[in-house]
């Protein structure tokens, strides 16, 4: 089993070869074509795939697409994994039972054992593949919801969970990733077929997923003077008691918000390319009293904002970021799925 992510990218290819390389990689699982009369040149796309305890987690960025998995392809490639998908753009699905329009950010379940056709705009999507021979205990629940969205708060929770997995996997060592199967199975079961026992078994994961939702809201509203505990409750859909219980171990709600604001300013001041005055950086992160901000920042990090900026500018700029290139480990998505 691969211990590092498998990356397939067209970014390093000549424009004239990008689309056909991407299409070839996804055959025979899917046949891909640009939606409508879209171009077949300049097709910059990237797929990163991780092993996750028997599950397979994929992150795909690609232009507008129309994909088809029909009975002929199912016969040629009998991969029958379930797939839970979350995209940032609306997706139109055509199944044997009819059409489904999936809104952005919603989780939906399909089975590669079924004919399926999808059409979407350029998107950044997460895929959780669940092989039947590894997750057979979920067969009744997943077969019941295949071709459907997972609705309600638990559906949103499942979408948040996939986003959290995507953020966490690059930082996990292979032994930690290999232990994820049981946790993934419990979380999926709790969201697609909730029972009191299942919700109890996944309580820790549910809290982590809710905490991630809170983080996202705080990051979006760092600048807002009206980001209060009450406002946070409304945005994340929690009661006051739920929110306070969730953040009790983090020092409380107010402290948790303040810490995220301070870390955002710290990150900006650590960037030598950031030219905005310290006062504007502080205001952008919700600190409107300069003296209070300076004292709070020094208490948190043991250094003043101006000293941190000076040290950052005197040091070396961060090194270049890692950019995946055209992967040659596997010739197709089918090979990739079988490797895991």
Confidence at 27, pLDDT banded by 50, 70, 90? confident
For all residues of the chain together, what is the average pLDDT? 82
- For domain 6-195, give its CATH number from 1.10.3720.10, 2.60.120.10, 1.10.1660.10, 2.60.120.380: 2.60.120.10
The confidence score (pLDDT) of residue 190 equals 86
- On the question of pLDDT at 3 being above 70, the answer is no
Confidence at 198, pLDDT banded by 50, 70, 90? low
- On the question of pLDDT at 135 being above 50, the answer is yes
Which part of the chain is CATH 2.60.120.10?
6-195
The confidence score (pLDDT) of residue 327 equals 43
Report, as an integer, the average pLDDT of 82-105. Answer: 85
Instruction: Summarize pLDDT for 273-328 with one digit per residue, the tens.
Output: 888 999 999 999 989 888 889 999 998 888 899 998 988 888 633 333 333 334 44
Which CATH fold would you assign to the domain 221-314? Arc Repressor Mutant, subunit A (1.10.10)
The confidence score (pLDDT) of residue 250 equals 78
Strand order from edge to edge, sheet including 46-52: 6-9, 46-52, 55-62, 123-130, 82-87, 107-111, 148-149
The confidence score (pLDDT) of residue 273 equals 84
The confidence score (pLDDT) of residue 85 equals 94
Instruction: Summarize pLDDT for 320-339 with one digit per residue, the tens.
Output: 333 333 444 566 777 777 66
Report, as an integer, the average pLDDT of 88-112. Answer: 85
Residue with tokens 């490639």: 77
The confidence score (pLDDT) of residue 133 equals 81
Structure tokens at 283: 């205001």
Instruction: Summarize pLDDT for 149-195 with one digit per residue, the tens.
Output: 888 888 888 999 999 999 889 888 888 888 899 999 988 988 887 76
Name the least confident of 7-21, 24-38, 116-130. 24-38
59 or 113, higher pLDDT: 59
Q: Round to whole Å and give the CA distance between 86 and 126.
A: 5
DSSP 167-206: HHGGGS-HHHHHTHHHHHHHHHHHHHS--HHHHHHTHHHH
Report, as an integer, the average pLDDT of 93-109. Answer: 83
> Cα–Cα distances in Å, from 339 out to 55, 247, 298, 333?
12, 40, 50, 10
The confidence score (pLDDT) of residue 208 equals 62
Instruction: Summarize pLDDT for 265-275 with one digit per residue, the tens.
Output: 988 888 888 88
Q: Round to whole Å and give the CA distance between 323 and 330.
A: 18
Where residue 266 falls (left for φ over 0; alpha for ψ -120 to 50; beta otherwise) is: alpha
- On the question of pLDDT at 249 being above 80, the answer is no
Report, as an integer, the average pLDDT of 76-82. Answer: 81
Report, as an integer, the average pLDDT of 38-53. Answer: 83
The confidence score (pLDDT) of residue 202 equals 59
**Residue 151 main-chain phi, psi, to 5 deg:** -85, 170
The confidence score (pLDDT) of residue 311 equals 85
Which part of the chain is CATH 1.10.10.60?
221-314
The confidence score (pLDDT) of residue 330 equals 61
DSSP 31-83: EEE-STT--SSS---EEEEEEETTEEEEEEEESSEEEEE-HHHHHH-----EE
């Amino acid at each position: 089993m691969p211990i590092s992510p498998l990356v397939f990218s067209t970014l390093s290819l000549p424009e004239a070869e990008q689309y056909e390389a991407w299409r070839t990689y996804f055959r025979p699982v899917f046949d891909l074509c640009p939606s409508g009369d879209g171009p077949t040149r300049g097709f910059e796309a990237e797929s990163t795939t991780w092993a996750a305890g028997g599950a397979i987690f994929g992150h795909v960025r690609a232009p507008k697409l129309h994909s088809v998995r029909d009975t002929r392809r199912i016969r040629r490639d009998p991969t029958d994994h379930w797939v839970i998908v979350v995209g940032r753009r609306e997706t139109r699905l055509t199944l044997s039972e009819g059409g489904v329009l999936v809104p952005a950010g919603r989780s939906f379940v399909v089975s590669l054992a079924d004919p399926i056709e999808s059409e979407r705009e350029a998107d950044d999507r997460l895929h959780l593949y669940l092989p039947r021979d590894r997750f057979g205990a979920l067969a009744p629940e997943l077969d019941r919801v295949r071709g459907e969205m997972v609705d309600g708060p638990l559906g949103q929770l499942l979408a948040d969970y996939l986003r959290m997995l995507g953020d966490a996997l690059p930082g996990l060592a292979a032994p930690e990733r290999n232990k994820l199967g049981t946790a993934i199975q419990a979380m999926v079961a709790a969201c697609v077929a909730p029972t009191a026992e299942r919700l109890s078994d996944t309580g820790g994961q549910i809290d982590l997923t809710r905490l991630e939702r809170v983080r996202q809201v705080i990051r979006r509203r760092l600048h807002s003077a009206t980001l209060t505990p009450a406002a946070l409750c409304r945005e994340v859909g929690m009661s006051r008691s739920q929110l306070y219980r969730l953040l009790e171990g983090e020092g409380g709600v107010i402290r948790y918000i303040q810490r995220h604001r301070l870390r955002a300013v710290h990150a900006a001041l650590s960037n030598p390319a950031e030219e905005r005055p310290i006062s504007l950086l502080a205001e952008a992160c919700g600190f409107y009293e300069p003296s209070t901000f300076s004292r709070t920042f020094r208490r948190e990090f043991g250094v003043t904002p101006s000293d941190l900026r000076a040290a950052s500018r005197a040091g070396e700029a961060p090194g270049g970021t890692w950019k995946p290139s055209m992967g040659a480990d596997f010739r197709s998505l089918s090979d990739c799925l079988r490797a895991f």
